[in-house]
Chains A and B, each alone.
Chain A
Amino acid sequence: DIQMTQSPSSVSASVGDRVTITCRASQGISSWLAWYQQKPGKAPKLLIYDASSLQSGVPSRFSGSGSGTDFTLTISSLQPEDFATYYCQQANSFPLTFGGGTKVEIK
């Protein structure tokens, strides 16, 4: 199985801050990576697929980059509604696997 490691596990930030979350795959996955946002008590929401493609309806302050084993999710200017937990997911091979999550908290 491909292991996905996210860092940091949590980050404290203020509204307007730039936030970057990292995801590392245990082996190369090309650009087969997605990012999801999950708010408490809610289902995950797809933000980014194919490492850098923005899902329809997702604000442009979210962006993704990377290929191979190292990927990043960037929120350019954090908004109040962005406080949530973010997960990466590799889409290269079965079984599909998720990172452990990064909680973005209010500073």
Chain B
Amino acid sequence: DGGITQSPKYLFRKEGQNVTLSCEQNLNHDAMYWYRQDPGQGLRLIYYSQIVNDFQKGDIAEGYSVSREKKESFPLTVTSAQKNPTAFYLCASSISYRTYEQYFGPGTRLTVT
């Protein structure tokens, strides 16, 4: 089955530790995205990648980093510099950054204490 996988579903970390969220897709999509979702708010874009070895900051990139070494993979690292990292994180992909439809993964709930 084609789709997007995010692992793990729930992740717990201590404050001050970096943590990496996984996102893999087998849809052969060029573009991939990371969103953050907080209660009472819509999705906010953290980073996006239009193509392998390229990525751009979104609206709330501070305290996050990404890499795009393979077409299928777009991991997100939440660094200790992120002041409020506890949130639900969604990964998405689209055929290209110009196409209108994004496909979403199941998300990862990160809790930092």
Bound pair (A, B): no
